[in-house]
Amino acid sequence: MSWEWLTINKLIDPGSSIGALALALVVFALAWLASLITRRLLQRPVWTTGKIKQRVDQTVFRYVLRIKNLVIFLFALLVYASLVPGLRALVGTMVAGAGITALVLGFAAKSTLANLISGVSLAIYRPFHIGDVVTIENEYGTVEDITLRHTIVRTWE
C-alpha cells in the first residue's frame, strides 16, 4: 500500500481534504479541552461562591455551563470555517443572509423558542429549584433537572 498521498504538506494544508479533516480534529480537540478546563475552573468553590460566600443556585450554574459550552464550540466552528478556504465563502454568504435566515428560523422554531424563553425565565425568577418537591395536577414529585427546553420531575411512583 502506498502512502504517497499522505505527506506533511497535505496534512497541514487546510485546502486539501485530508488537511481540512486534520484541522477539524485539532480544532474540535482544542474546543473540548477548553470546555473541560473552564468547567473545572467554574466548579471550584472559590469561583462559584465568590468573595461574599453566597451559595450559587444549582440551576443557574447548569445554565452557565451549558451556555459556556455552546459559546466555546460555536467559536471553534467559526475559527475552523475561517481557516478552511472552501468554507470562507460559505461563511461570508451565510453572514450576508443572516437576517433572512434568522427570520425564517424564528418562524420555523416558534414553539422551541417559546420553550427556551420559558426556560430562561425559570432560571431568572426561580419559582422552584433542583431538589424541590412540587405538586402538579395532584401529583407530587421532585425536580431533578431544569434545562432550557424542559423540566424533569420524578414522581413518587
pLDDT at 6 exceeding the cut of 60: no
Considering the entire predicted model, what is its pTM? 0.55
Hey, where are the domains in the chain? Answer: 1-92, 97-157
pLDDT at 116 exceeding the cut of 60: yes
Mean pLDDT score across all residues of the chain? 78
pLDDT tens per residue, range 17-32: 777 788 888 899 999 9
The whole-number pLDDT of residue 118 equals 80
Give the 3-state secondary structure of the chain.
Answer: CCCCCCCHHHHHCCCCHHHHHHHHHHHHHHHHHHHHHHHHHHHCHHHHHCCCCCCCCHHHHHHHHHHHHHHHHHHHHHHHHHHCHHHHHHHHHHHHCHHHHHHHHHHHCHHHHHHHHHHHHHHHHCCCCCCCEEEECCEEEEEEEECCCCEEEEECC
Q: Which of 155, 23, 151 is nearest to 85 (CA)?
A: 23
Task: Provide the CA 105 distance to its chain's centre, in angstroms.
Answer: 18
Q: Which residue has the higher pLDDT, 146 or 73?
A: 73
The whole-number pLDDT of residue 31 equals 93
Grid cell, residue 14, equals 487546510
